[in-house]
A and B are shown apart, each in its own frame.
Chain A
Amino acid sequence: MTWDVEKVRKDFPVLHREVNGKPLVYLDNGASSQVPQIVIDRMSAYAADEHSNIHRGVHYLSQHATTAYEAAREKVKRFINAPDVKECIFVRGTTEGINLVAQSYGKKFIGEGDEILVSAMEHHSNIVPWQIVAEEHGAKVIMTPMNERGELIIEEYERLLNERTKMVAVTHVSNSLGTVNPVKEMIATAHKYGVPVLVDAAQSVPHFAVDVQDLDADFFVFSGHKMFGPTGSGVVYGKRKWLDQVPPYQTGGGMIRSVTFEKTTYAPIPEKFEAGTPAIAAGIGLGAAIDYLNSIDFDAAFAHEHDLLEYATARLADIPGVTIIGTAAEKASVLSFTIEGVHPHDIGTILDQQGIAVRAGHHCAQPVMDFFCVPATARASFAFYNTRDEVDKLADAVQKVIEVFA
């Protein structure tokens, strides 16, 4: 199967603009991916022709908007192979999703002396919510360590699991290192101890097909804007057995069954976790992004990304002074690197002047930076619309950085 990257690029209008007088080379997909025309069109059609509040009115537009929003939820269910559409909760993004799970699950199940296992390579959004919960309930956050290649040490993980462990929080793909974690095996191990697992899937869903039933994930959280959808869209998949038991996160309209000043009862899932008017256009846009992903050959796309990763790794590793951070055996298309004697922000600025967008910084993963003893890295993260030619431009620009600082 060959991947027609030029054809795919035509679907993404922004890829055809210039930045600083140069054609845009967009290599910051790990931060946010670009949006195809089909998503833009769907969202503008909603705004122009369909906008109304959902689950409220008996009038035509409200019913129409409700149908479109719920159709998007159904697309999400099929995309991740959730058993039941009601287990798919719409949120603003991964961060809100993890906060939702941490707060709601924590209130019900985490108490004094309990432990929450969080991996060494988590994004801050999968560390801080658990620290807060631990503080609130007298529990402890325990770190699952990694090795110098940026792979979790599975023997250590198994050793750390015990009867006090109440939650395992782990990222599917590391945003700063690209490591693909063996979450299916980790979930099976945790379940031996009766411990549920939250998978941060923000960086995995854009890159390969996922199946929450095959993984047996208890919670599976991701953002729309990293998978070619709009910002403000995201999903918490949770097993019904947990979602039914735990209290709501936010409260207000839309999530109640009945309210009196004496007592309020909550709506069933997913509404129980969806207080207030949601980001309706974003949810519908996410549905369109899933339509788009269903229309392409996802396996060929992933193979193309993998080729880009290998090619870029080889090109950059070949340049004296460049160090690749994160060399796990299993990686998605994230390439973090440093240049000897050059701060990543200077790399980022010089690359930007040549139209190349990369992320420079700690990637909201300061513990990862500390582990590798670097203040920050530069990170190129590829999507299926990137090309080998763009990798060449990146390598040339890195060479240029070294010349400027020689």
Chain B
Amino acid sequence: MSELNELYQDTILDHNKNPRNFRDIDDADKSADGKNPLCGDALRVYVKMENDVVSDVAFKGSGCAISKASASMMTQAVKGKNREQAQLLFDEFHKMVTGELDIESDDNSLGKLRVFAGVLEFPARVKCASLSWHTLNAALHDEGEISTE
């Protein structure tokens, strides 16, 4: 069960149970819908910008523990960041869960998000972890809707 513990860490279980920033933002500047048609996960990410800074970010939707916790922690991580910083986090997160970035040896600014490194051992679940990030990316690029398959 050691690998399992790596995936379902307390932090992830906590964010699944009590997702942060789990709400609508009525006057959001940007939003996007993310769907994984294979598993039915669906969420919407809302972003409020102040100049170049993400002043508020939230999400709504349904999905597995991994996708929900990932969305929750993403909102915490990008709030207050400017576009460039948010983009960097997205890139690093994506590289971490696909094995292109080693959190121990490669420089990164992932911080608490490192908890998702364990997803790498569960190829079927990588898309669960990255769905919210792809959705945020779509919102920031005004793409409206993304689908991961």
Q: Which residues of A contact B (CB under 8 A)?
A: 20, 341-346, 349-350, 353-354, 360-362, 366, 369, 375-376, 404-405
Contacts and interface: CB of A to CB of B under 8 A. Distances in A.
Contacts of A342: 65
A128 B1 CA distance: 41
Interface in B6-64: 7-8, 13, 16-17, 38-42, 62-64
A40 B13 CA distance: 44
A362 B13 CA distance: 23
Nearest to B7: A349
Interface residues of B, number: 23
B107 interface: no
Contacts of A360: 39
A369 B41 CA distance: 13
A406 to B, nearest CB: 9
B4 A345 contact: no
Given A343-B63, A375-B62, A350 B8 contact: yes
A362 B66 contact: no
A357 to B, nearest CB: 12
B8 A362 contact: no
9 contacts: A343-B68, A344-B64, A345-B124, A345-B128, A346-B8, A349-B4, A353-B4, A375-B42, A376-B40
B65 A375 contact: no
Contacts of A345: 39, 64, 66, 124-125, 128
A300 to B, nearest CB: 36
Contacts of B40: 361-362, 366, 369, 375-376
A366 B40 CA distance: 9
Q: Which residue, A343, A362, A366, has most C-beta atoms of chain B within 10 A?
A: A343
Nearest to B124: A349
B4 A350 contact: yes
A362 B8 CA distance: 23
A354 B124 CA distance: 16
A354 B2 CA distance: 11
A346 B1 contact: no
A405 B13 contact: yes
Contacts of B65: 342-343, 346, 405
